[in-house]
Structure 1
Amino acid sequence: MKKRGFEVVTAYQNKEIEVPKRATHQAAGYDFAAAEDMVIPSIWKQWFSRRIGAEQKIEKAIKPVLVPTGIKAYMGEEEFLQLANRSSNPLKRFLVLSNGVGVIDSDYYNNPANEGHIMFQFTNVGLKDVQIKKGEKIGQGIFLPFLKADQDESLGERTGGFGSSNQE
């Protein structure tokens, strides 16, 4: 019986995607790589290149970019996969995880909407666009257990893919 691990999603099966690996024996995180070439535009370039008027909100001009990994993760019911940025991304490339930390729930695996495809959500706070190449390391995933409250009550079953457990 499998406990936890990674698989390549169907759409990327023949695209030379490697499952995440740890860089050293003591590393907590599994290194994720980009599944395709991507450009993360500078938020400043986006903001200044659009006409900002009363009818247009700034939030629409500054939108995070989802970088696909071609990977899905399976784990136990009381575990999750935490997605974290590489420490060099903000320092050297001005790339920040837009959601701070990503949380991949166990029921995200093989969901009907996107098969559980893991993506990293980046915002480029630098002045220049950042090119990410296929196979380049973009972040880390760490398997962690979680605890439930005595009064635990969930709102139901997962009904979709990315962001689907958001009840807003």
Structure 2
Amino acid sequence: MKTRGFEIVSKYQGRGIDLPQRKTAASAGYDLQAARTVVVEPGQLAMVPTGLKAYMQSDEVLTIHIRSSMAIKRGLMLANHVGIVDADYYNNEENEGHIFIALWNRGKAAVTIEGGERIAQGIFMKYLAVDGDEAGAGEVRKGGFGSTGR
């Protein structure tokens, strides 16, 4: 049985997408790369595809964080500051669980993200639920990005 990890979404099979890796023994995050070249215009938001989906246990979440070099050297930040990928996002009907990185350019010049460039990092974490939480008896997710509560 698979516990947690990454897979390539169907649309990006055979396109040279690398599965995320930790770069050092003490690294918490798995580096996520852009699946294709994207230009982020000044003051604008761009949804950068990774070509990846993530599977995990039902009591886990994948948090997405900007790489320091993207924020400090390039003036980019995550539009939502920290991305949250729920366990039931994996293989959803709408987009197969494809993870996109929402980058906002706070600078004055366009920033080009090259395909294959490391742009964010993902950290798998366990989370806790409150007493009486009934979400586990709820509906199955059908939608993709931003679909919780629709």
Q: TM-score range by the shorter chain?
A: over 0.9
Deviation of the 1:64 alpha carbon: 2.0
Distance 1:88 1:166, change over 3 A: farther
Whether 1:160 aligns to 2:143 is yes
Report the equivalent of 2:78: 97
Deviation of the 1:13 alpha carbon: 0.2
RMSD over aligned CA atoms reads 1.0
- Correspondence for 2:45 among 53, 61, 64: 64
Deviation of the 1:130 alpha carbon: 0.1
Report the equivalent of 2:64: 83
**Residue type of the alignment partner of 2:132:** Q
List runs of 5+ in structure 1 lacking aligned partners: 44-62
Equivalenced residues, count: 148
List runs of 5+ in structure 2 lacking aligned partners: none
* TM-score normalised by the chain length of structure 2: 0.95
Whether 1:117 aligns to 2:98 is yes
Report the equivalent of 1:142: 123
* TM-score normalised by the chain length of structure 1: 0.85
CA contact (8 A) 1:159 1:165 kept: no
Deviation of the 1:14 alpha carbon: 1.3
Report the equivalent of 1:17: 17
